[in-house]
Chain A
């Protein structure tokens, strides 16, 4: 289940940020790459919320500083069952 969630989130990151294949998504951090700037961040947040049917608080949106943090946030919302 955890692996499924990771795969699903990776896919959202790739699509929302239009990432090239060589990007190490799971170790990605905010502003590591050009695509994940503040505007890209809001697109990414919206895509994650849509995909997983969740809505993050403003503090969570601001704190979502890496793929790993995003994954932890989703686990915290019981997406991982």
Chain B
């Protein structure tokens, strides 16, 4: 199984990259691993943009249902890793 070149390497790096996508969408500079997208100001509308960026960044489509059970940076990063591992 071989991922694409920008597929996530390790959990730590994935978490950081997800965090910077949160920052980009929410337009706030500092996002921690435990921050929740909606508590930090996200909406169901901006979440569309977030999942688009996640798909562009990691080459994986996070299902909408999965995202709403995993809305912190760390949880979404874990789902991204799982999806990337599945190929």
Check if A and B associate: no
Give B residues with C-beta under 8 Å from A: none
Give A residues with C-beta under 8 Å from B: none
